[in-house]
Structure formats: structure tokens, C-alpha cells
Amino acid sequence: MDSISKATQTITIGSLTIRQDAEGRYCLNDLHKAAGGQTKHQPSFWMRTKTFEGLLDELVGSAYMQNLPVSIVKGRYTQQGTFVVKPLVYAYAMWISAAFNLEVINAYDQMVTA
């Protein structure tokens, strides 16, 4: 069984389903595509910001985290990507735009209430 089939909470934004890894982290690369795929919004650019570094420090040091908040999978074709925990999904969406942030929040709320 691959890691994608183990996902239990599927988020869909527009027509794009956001993949999850075996630990339930969400794929930033899919979120980037859902946001329009602009070069300036690439996950790697966001991960170089002070905001990301601060959030990562807080998450790693908190009791909230049972697993690593970020996982980067390389070279596995459809399974590759950067996977992050839900708080980082929201932070990434806020970094892109207020409109996309609300879209992500609404998609998550819809998934939870479905």
C-alpha cells in the first residue's frame, strides 16, 4: 500500500485533490498548483522566509507534534513533493494571498463537516 492511499482526510481545492503522506501531512506542491502555480509562490521560496523558520521552530518544540512537521520526498515520481502539517498549510496559504487562505480554510471545513 502506498502512502497516498493511507490518507484519511482528503482536501479538495477546485478540482485538485491535495495529496497526503503516510503521516497525514499535506502536499505543498499540490497547494501551489491549486493556487495558480505562479513561480513567486513556489513552496521553496516560502520555506526560506523568517515566518516559516519561526513556525517550524515553534512546531518542533511543541508537544503538539508527534511527527516531523515537514517531509520532503524526492525521486518517487507521483509521490514526490513537500509535505507539511495542517498549521503550515494555513501559513503557506496566508503567504500566497488572503483569498487563497480562505479557500483552503473553507476546503478544510467542508472536509471536516462532510
The pLDDT tens digits for 20-65 are 988 889 999 999 999 999 999 999 999 999 999 999 988 888 766 6
Tens of pLDDT, residues 86-102: 999 999 999 999 999 99
Taking CA atoms, 70 is separated from 36, 90, 105, 112, 114, in Å, by: 22, 14, 20, 22, 27
| Cα 2 from Cα 110, distance rounded (Å) | 25
Q: Residue 10: inside a domain, yes or no?
A: no
pTM of the model: 0.82
Per the structure, the complete domain to which residue 47 belongs is given by: 15-113
Q: Residue 8: inside a domain, yes or no?
A: no
Q: How many domains does the chain have?
A: 1
Q: Residue 5: inside a domain, yes or no?
A: no
| 21 and 83 Cβ atoms separated by less than 8 Å | yes
